[in-house]
Amino acid sequence: MKDMQHYATIEELRIAAKKRVPRMFYEYVDAGSWSESTYRANSDDFARLQFRQRVAVDFSTRNLATTMIGERVSMPVALAPTGIAGMQHADGEILAARAAERFGVPFTLSTVSICSIEDVAAHTQRPFWFQLYMMKDRGFIADLIARAKAARCPALVLTLDLQIQGQRHKDRRNGLSAPPRLTLRNLAHLSRYPRWCARMLGTQRRTFGNIVGHAPGVTSIASMADWSAKQFDPTLTWKDIDWVRERWGGKLILKGVLDEDDARIARGVGADAVIVSNHGGRQLDGAPSTISMMPRIAEVLHGDVELHMDGGIRSGQDVLKALACGAHAVYVGRAFLYGLGAEGEAGVTRCLEVIRDELDMTMALAGITDIRDVDGTVLRSGGFVKGHAPAGEDAAPVRMQIV
């Protein structure tokens, strides 16, 4: 294992992960749907926003700590729910949850994780958040919610944008499955990753831990594939949120909002937080980037609902830009998975260190000493000003065009 300081950026973690993770699992992370235009826009649109550099500001004391849905966090960043993280590295969800716990940020476990709710709970002290996909089998969903409550998960993240799966061409070409099917082609490819294979052989967690052995009739990877193909629910509507809330009873975060009208509805159904998200560019290709929609959705919600976002965040600078555009906090998915694939638990920790250090330094150079004071005035162009206009102008919130 390398000295973690060797990795100065998230991009360097990505390059290392690409060398160490088999293609079908690396490309599951590092790809979008169809032409991948939305996947690319999520990152590219961040680069179009510029900071206002400020000088002669005393930034000898700085603070990144804040809260997310009332939970104190060391910085306004959470680890996003990501499917099959346990295929990037053996026991991946456990390792990522432990890294997040030590760092003081939330970890969100996916419904389609490799390590189960119970696995992660048994290896962590800090309660983690749980992400829920709605399936047709409401009995199974009710059981998942009960298991999350038993694990003391303080927040449920309900994903709304996966009623059907987007066109993910790389996953189809690679024959994605967990564990990988033992075809001659796959065996030949896996032989190039002996460390990955050795770790996988050393764990019993190699398939969907929240589903296999829990969903009726799902006892193997073969039955899992048949079950999952039929279970994502195209009939999901806003009315189903009441059904979820009745069984959950705790903090509810709605993920997948990318339109002003949907943001208004989410506020109306009583969400504790809304995640502006396009599923990492993995669902509707040709949809706008999340950062480009942040100003509009922030303006619609007027601070009535805590506003989070994901998509395209690869640095601490991206975090600061998201906050300036109206987000209260952000989620990182691919960034931490690169760290996980590169160096396991230490790689996830390094990902968080890189983001923290970049966020701290950029905030200072933009003339801000407390993360809670960030607003649109840190940007030269683009974003939504929360509470203040640039110096010398009226103090009312203003909209600025992303150009």
Which residues are known to be catalytic?
279
The answer to whether 244 and 132 have CB atoms below 8 angstroms apart is yes
The answer to whether 277 and 161 have CB atoms below 8 angstroms apart is yes
Exposed/middle/buried for residue 305 (C-beta within 10 Å: 0-12, 13-18, 19+): buried
In whole angstroms, give the CA distance from residue 340 to residue 178. Answer: 17
Q: Say which DSSP state 107 is in.
A: B
In whole angstroms, give the CA distance from residue 87 to residue 2. Answer: 21
The answer to whether 6 and 327 have CB atoms below 8 angstroms apart is no
Amino acid occupying residue 245 = R
Q: Say which DSSP state 21 is in.
A: S
- Structure-block tokens of residue 138: 């409401």
Cβ neighbours for 109, distance < 8 A, ≥ 6 positions apart: 81, 93, 97, 115, 117, 120, 128, 129, 130, 131, 153
Measured in degrees and rounded to the nearest 5, phi and psi for residue 344 equal 65, -140
- Structure-block tokens of residue 54: 């400020």
The answer to whether 367 and 373 have CB atoms below 8 angstroms apart is no
Amino acid occupying residue 104 = G
Residue 146 exposure: Cα atoms within 13 Å on the Cβ side = 7
In whole angstroms, give the CA distance from residue 282 to residue 150. Answer: 31
Amino acid occupying residue 394 = D
In whole angstroms, give the CA distance from residue 210 to residue 192. Answer: 29
Question: Taken in order 385, 386, 391, 392, is the CA torsion positive or negative?
Answer: positive
In whole angstroms, give the CA distance from residue 378 to residue 52. Answer: 5
- Cross-strand bridge partners of residue 157: 131, 253
Exposed/middle/buried for residue 4 (C-beta within 10 Å: 0-12, 13-18, 19+): middle
